Every structure is written in structure tokens, then in C-alpha cells.
A and B are shown apart, each in its own frame.
Chain A
Amino acid sequence: MKTISRLLLSILCAMVLLSSCKKADDPAPATNEEELITDLTLTFTNQANTSEVITMTFSDSDGPNGPQTGTFNISGNLSASAKYNVAFKVENKSETPAEDVTTEIKEEGAEHQVFYNTTGNLQFQSYTDKDANGNPIGISTTFSTGIAGTATLKVTLKHQPGVKTASTTVVDGETDIEVNFTGITIQ
């Protein structure tokens, strides 16, 4: 049987050579050209004390299409009864240097919106940016904290091509990013 296999293989190889007019089939994969978003960072800056900066990050090194589970990191506690300016940033850290994807979302602002849902002692205040149509994007926002306690914050980036208006909500369009920060402490 083995000789038959070999015979067939050699005939096949000959065929492959004969038909090599098309491009070579190199089976070794090229490096990943995939467009990824690996990291989300929310930077909270206390309006009353700009040296108080807290970051919340979610990092998923293989991106949304890879099977690895992401990890959360919250750099510290928020102050009670304070107001914060919050910056939203997304990056592709699988490339070196890391690629900042936020600017692209800003450019396509008319198709995107970031939504924030909170529970506990953290409240979303307002959007402080606008797209070309005067609707909010959500890259820069303000939040406020209540008394000491805990909170959760869900961040959702929606892709709403042809759908986005002043009244569209988190249920419209397709989800590009959805991260739920739990265990936020306010003291």
C-alpha cells in the first residue's frame, strides 16, 4: 500500500509542478494582519484636583476574536462626592508601538457612540464631545461620585452606521466593545 501511495504522490507532485502557473501556496502563515482592539482605558481625572488620576483598564491580548480571557485593572479608589473628567481610549497593543484606535473612532464619530451604564455610587453626568452632526460620541465625558461605597460601570461602544441619531441608545447597532468594570470603590 505504501508503494502505491508513493507512486500516487509522485504523480501528484508532477501535476503540482506542471500546474505551477498560479501563485505559490506557501503554507506558513504571514504575521497577523488582523485589525484588533486589545485594550480599553478609562482615565478619571478629578476636576477639583487634577493630580488625582485613576485609570481603569481592560486588556485582552488576543483581541475579541481570540479565545483568551481578558483581565481588568483598576489603579485606585475614586473620591466620594467628586466630579471627574473621563477620557475613553482604545488601543491595539498587539502591534509595536501600540496603535491608538481612538482617533479612528473620533473620525468616524457619526457612526459610533460610547454608552455608559452605572450602578452604585457612580453616576454618568454628560458627554463633552460632538460628532459632525452635533451628536455625542462619548470619548470625553464627565462622571460624579456619591458617598463612599461601591459601583459598577459598563462601557459599550456601538457601531451605528446609518442609524445613529440624538436619540439612539445602547440597544441600537452592533457592539464593538462591551466591558463591565465591577468592584469600583469610592471612599
Chain B
Amino acid sequence: MRTLSIIILHILLSTHFLFAQKTTKTECKGMLSGVVIDAQSKAPLAGVTIYIKGTNTGVITDAKGRFQIPDLCKGEHICICRMIGYKQTEFVIHHYHNHAHHDKKLALRHDNHLLEEILVEGKKIETATQAKSSLSGDALDKSSGKNLGESLKSLTGVNTLQTGHSISKPVIHGVHSNRVLVLNNGIRQEGQQWGAEHAPEIDPFVATQLSVVKGAAGVRYGADAIGGVVIVEPPRLRQSSGIGGALNLVGVSNGRQGIMSGMLEGQVIKGLSWRVQGTYKQSGNVHTPDYFLSNTGLREVNFSGAIGYTKERFGVEIFHSRFDTELGIFEAAHTGNRADLKRAINSPQPLVIKDFSYDIIQPKQRVSHHLLKAKAFWLLDKVGKIEIQYGLQSNARAEFDHSRRRKSTAALSLNLNTHTLDLVLNHNALGHWKGSFGLTGMYQTNVFTGQMFIPNYNTTTAGAFLIERYVRESFEFEAGIRYDQRSLTTYIRPTSNDPVENKTLNFNNFSGTLGVIFRFNDYLSLRSNLGTAWRPPAVNELYSAGLHHGSASFELGNANLQTEQSYKWINTLTYEKNRLNIELSGYYNQIQNYIYLAPSAPWSTLTIRGEFPIYQYLQTNAVIMGIDAALEYDITASLTFRSKASVVRGRDRSFDNPLILMPTDNITNTLTYQLPKVGKFKKIFFSLSGRHVAEQRLLPQNREPFEGDTPSQNTGENQLTYEELINAPAGYSVWGFQTGFTLPFHRQSLKISLSIDNMLDAAYRDYLNRFRFFADDLGRSFTLRLKYTF
């Protein structure tokens, strides 16, 4: 039965230099570290012996499957992993260049005693000193079927800005949308990310790892990454012969959702591999404890394919993905004018309640996103590793109104095409320094039809960066600098009969990063990073002019906006010893010229549909600071307690006022009981979790004149008050339960889990959900997940 022949290694190789050591053996100061896990159950394997062939150097993995081999010499080494019940696995380490290599993930499939090779050549060194949290393996499987934003929510310090249950955007340390960059398979995702109700067009089933970088990561990823970066990483292409794959089936009771996702991969000849993957998702109207939410269904069809050829010294890869979704917008949240909105806000139940249906009617969104990526790398002995990457993205978004006429045409459609090009050199060590240098470029065109909300434009961005690291045994130092230049040309036709006017704006600026890691001892380490990032005003902030139905307000751009500049200092203390694991992180983000939307003169406009308040983009100096804390304690060998909490405070310094839409203080506690094996079943677990969210009491005060305060000439009796628009719902607690097991047989495995969300069917509303004004959040829901791997 124990013929498990596959071991996957997560290799983390980093090299440490002893500065003071005056020996000629500085060539032997590399360190190989990593985690050994069971290829099928993905469980960490304790007690695996790893040694370098022909030496006496050998180590045994600890309870979490981790190991460290110090004093690794330059050269080629054969490492051997051995454990009773598993086949002996060998891999080759090419350790020539003193690069720092982080999160190197490699799959070893040891069929027929093939000697597989691992090229220990890192590609990323950019975020070493910044706080980063990841979700992969079992933890990622536990949230399968959820959208990207919801999946990321289990990471400390990450919240979601929601528009109902189907649209959620990640909020990192209190900032979101244009200030958070999403890196999808190495390419910066370019959709219409400025819109709070425009979710990232990414299928989480593509990824085997979702990570969040929580610092100002402007240097490596370019302008805009003020708040942080979300990194979506697909697995590496298959490294061994044969064909494999996985099938995911997810059923969710609330919304009667069905999700099916399959992946198939193979190797044609050694070095040439392929993978195809697809997902289908359908959901109907979801329900709260008391009623269904009409028109909240969605349909999603996604596809991706990749093919790659890799040799020792060079490799090429082509990746294509397509994401297609059609989703209904909750009917009761779509209002014709302010009187409608006031009625909807003040009604204890939604004004429109309908029964369950899979039908998606108007208002709705239809979005499709294509990504084509081509990537190549070369290894040059004297220089380092050169990578070149080109990405083409085509994003088509159509928004359908409650339109009387031309029902089949969208009220507004936007087509955004983006080309990106990245050229990166990870150079060989120069003395004690190693690092990378890169050039990036982006060209983008946006064209709308129908109602004008943002104008047509094209942007050209070019940037260059350099990041260097200096590594010693007990500390690391990192510094980076980047320069970007962006030009934005807009094409506006003031009225239908006017000629097109075009206008060009140029922005350029530097970003920087400075960070250190101190390792006080084996258990305690401190990471500190000071990063700056800048963000040119986005086209909607500059030029938007239109009615926003969701908020029944006019959003006016402000052509005088200046570049936003952020300075973020983040410190993370990590303590890991025996059964206790603590991570504490504190940050302070000062954002100069912070762009926000506020009621603005002439306060309102009178249209044939009634009167609407005018909001305009303004700038202020803001500070966002907070604390993230995570604790993990093994009460017994099989009982684990986990807790994570985050607190964010945002302040408008110019007006001495709290910032709007700051995530509320929250804490999530989970108690997990896990048995490694019962009969044929493995990894049986039961977990109970409670999420407690406080009420947001720090709401912006009405310091500026607000139009709604004074009756106006038109519809005075229906004015919304400032309080009605700013009001935060009460705090809440939701409980969840999840249980599951893994059933391995031969080379396949079946993983089944059942979870209950909002177990007590609590009626609650969340401050960061834009539909909190109109309806409760989702009621109790059962989810059955099945994953078959072969």
C-alpha cells in the first residue's frame, strides 16, 4: 500500500556569508533549507533524512517537515531524501551563484528512479524584508470555489471591499482598488480596477499559491503598489514524464452554486511540458437568514493553458488564460435617483424581494479578460539570469442598466488593451552583494461605448529598477530604487457634435525601498522595511463625469490632481519555538496627496431624473496605521488553536477626520482537531472558527458643507442626510465549522470536506460591503468540496 513514490520539495535556498571569517572556504557558506511534504496529501513529513551524496552532511526534517543544510559549497550536489514507506528520492542542486533564493518551489516526481534536477536559481529577491503572507496547499483547498478576494480574506491584514457576495476586492492594510496591484502569473493585472464594484478577473483555481505583500512595493512592481501586491502564482509546469491532473467539484447550498474545475498536465519529452485548466461556475440568487436577494446570480467560464520548454540554461513558456463572467447586480441596490436611494436605505428589508432563480436580469455586468503571456530566460555564467516577459491583456467590460430601451446593448462598455514588457537581470554575486536590475514598459488603450464615465485614453509607462541585498548570518540588508515615467493621453468629445479634444499629462517619480532582517536567535527575528511608492492619479480620478447608479451620485474628476506619494514603514516580529508561533506586525503608512471622493461644490445637479449630489475627487494628507497579529499554539499533538487579529486606523490629517471605509477591528479564532490517520483515511480534521467584527465607530465627521443638509429647490422632502450615507452597521460574530479527510489510493487521492458558513444563521451587515445599506449579508450555507488528484 505504501507505494507513495512522489515527494515534493519546497526548497528555500539562501546563502549566508560570514563577513568576518577569513578563511578560503567562503565558497562553502551556502545554505539549503526547505520543507518536505507528501506529494499526495501535501502534509509535511517529519523524520525524513536528507543528506548530500558523498559527504557526511545530513539532516532530519522536524515536526513541520522543515530542514536546513548549512555550509553548502559551490558546485553540483546530489541530495538524497529517504524515509521508510516512501521511495528514495534524489535531486541535484546546482549551486554556483550566490543568489538569494526564496520560495523556490519544485516538484519532484520520482518515477523509475529518474534523476531529476533542481536548478537552484532564484527569480525573486524583491520582498525579502517586507511582510508577506501566503495561502497554498491545504489552506487554499479549504477555500476552493470562492472568488479571489474571499480566498485572500483568510490572511491577516487582508479584508475585502464587497459589492454583494459576487464582487469582492482585496483591501490590504486599509487600501484597495487602484492602490493595490494584482500580479497574475507575473503580469500586472490590468482591468478597470479603479471601480469599487470591479473585481479582479482571475480564477483562483489557476493558482497553487496566493500571496499578499503588505509593504509599499513600488520598486519591484512599479507605480501604484502603494498598499501592497496580491500575487497569484500557478504551479510550475510538470517536471516528470506522464500525465497528471486534478478535478475539483464544489457545491454550495446558498445560491445553489455548482463549481467544477479540472486540470490536466503532462510532459511530452523531457523539458517540454503542457497544462490545460478550466472552471465553470454557476450560482443563483443567494439568501440572507430571512429573504432571497433578487438578481444575485452569476455564471463564470474560465480557461487557461500553458506550454513550456526548459533546458538547464534556457527556457521558454507561453501561457494563455480567459476569464468570462456574467453577474447580476442586486436589484434593490440599483436606484433611479436620490429619493429612491433614501427609500432603499431606510427600508428594513430590500424594496424588491424575489424568490430563488438562476436567471440573471438587468442590471448586470458582463466581463471577459484575456491574458497572453510569453516568457523566456537564459542563464549566463559570467552574468546571471536574464528574463524577458511579454504580456497582452484584453479586458472587455459591459454594464447593463435597468434600461428602458435597447435592452440588449450595454449602457456602458469599456475595452482596455494592455501590453507589458519586462526585462530583468538577476546578476551573479558581486562581492557580498546580489540583486537584480530590470526595465519594464506598458502601453494601454481604453475605448468606451455608450454612456461616458471615463474618457478614451492611452497610457505609456516605462520604468527601471535596481534592488540589491547584502546578507550576513544574523542580518540582511536590502535597498532598491526605481524610476518611472508615465504619460496619459485622453480623448474627449465634449458633446456629440464637438470635435475630439486630446490632452496629455506626464508623470514621473522615484520609488525606493530600504529593509533589514535581524535574526536574534533561532526563534526570534525582526523584519523592518521602509518603502515608498507613488501613484499618478488614475483616469477616473482625473476625468470621470457621470452618474453612479449604485450611490445615486455624480462623480466628477479633478484635472488638477497631483501624484499620490506613500511612505510605508512596516515592522514584523516573528517568534517560533516548539508549539508556539507568533507573528506581530505594525505599520505606518503616510500618504501625501491622498485622493478621495467627497461632496463638492456646487453640491448638486438637477437632471431630468431628479437631483443628485456631486462628489468630486479631492486630495489630502492621510495616515493609515495598524497592527496585525497572528498566533498559533499546539495545545496537544492534534489540537491546535489559531488566532489572528487586525486593527487599522486611517486619518485625514489635513481635516483631522477619520478616513471613510477603513476596515473594522476584527479577530478570528480557530480550533482545529486533526488526526494524521484513521484506517485508510488520512488527515481527518474538524475545525471550529469564530470571526468577530467590531462596529466601525471612527466615521468621518461632516466637516465640510454637505448638500443634503439644506433643502433644495427640487426634491427637498427626499434629501438624504450625511448620516444616512455614512452610517456603519453594528458589529457581528459569525461561526463556521469545517470537517474533511483525504483518502489516498495508489498514486491518486481524494480529498473531501464539508463546511458550514454562518452556522448560527446570524443576520448581519458588514461595513465594507456596499450593499449593507440595502440588505443583510448571507445566511447559513453548506459547502461540499471534493478534490480528486491523479
Contact = CB atoms under 8 A, between A and B. Distances in A.
Interface of A: 1, 4-5, 7-9, 11-13, 15-16, 19, 22, 25-35, 37-40, 58, 60, 62-70, 90, 94, 104-105, 108, 111-112, 154, 159, 163, 171, 174-180, 182
A37 B608 contact: yes
Given A12-B421, A35-B403, A175-B339, 17 more contacts: A1-B464, A8-B440, A11-B421, A12-B442, A15-B419, A16-B443, A25-B417, A28-B500, A29-B500, A31-B493, A33-B449, A63-B608, A69-B606, A174-B402, A177-B609, A178-B714, A182-B713
B607 A25 contact: no
A58 B714 CA distance: 12
Interface string B406-427: 1000010001010101000000
Contacts of A171: 343
Contacts of A108: 404
Contacts, number: 167
Interface in B558-608: 602, 605-608
Contact of A176 (B339, B417, B609): B609
A160 to B, nearest CB: 11
Nearest to A11: B421
B452 interface: yes
A177 B483 contact: no
B495 interface: yes
A25 B450 contact: no
Range of interface residues on B (Cβ < 8 Å): 35 or more
Interface in B228-248: none
Interface in B599-623: 602, 605-611, 614
B22 interface: no
Given A1-B483, A9-B460, A178-B337, A69 B445 contact: no
Interface in B447-471: 447-452, 455-458, 460, 462, 464
* 9 shortest interchain CB distances as A-B pairs: A175-B336, A178-B610, A8-B441, A25-B445, A64-B609, A174-B336, A5-B462, A32-B496, A64-B607
Given A16-B443, A60-B608, A175-B609, A8 B336 contact: no
Contacts of A34: 411, 450-452
Nearest to A171: B343
Interface in B329-352: 334-337, 339-340, 343, 352
Contact of B447 (A29, A67, A176): A29
Interface of B: 334-337, 339-340, 343, 352, 390, 392, 394, 402-406, 411, 415, 417, 419, 421, 439-443, 445-452, 455-458, 460, 462, 464, 483, 485, 489, 491-493, 495-497, 500, 545-547, 554, 556, 602, 605-611, 614, 713-715
A16 B421 CA distance: 11
B607 A174 contact: no
Contacts of A27: 445-447, 456-458, 489, 491
Contacts of B607: 60, 63-66, 69-70
Nearest to B392: A19
Contacts of A15: 390, 392, 419, 421
8 contacts: A1-B464, A15-B421, A19-B419, A27-B457, A29-B447, A29-B448, A63-B607, A175-B609
Nearest to A70: B606
A63 B483 CA distance: 43
Contacts of B500: 28-29
B343 A176 contact: no
Contacts of B402: 159, 174
B42 to A, nearest CB: 38
A39 to B, nearest CB: 8
Contact of B419 (A12, A32, A105): A12
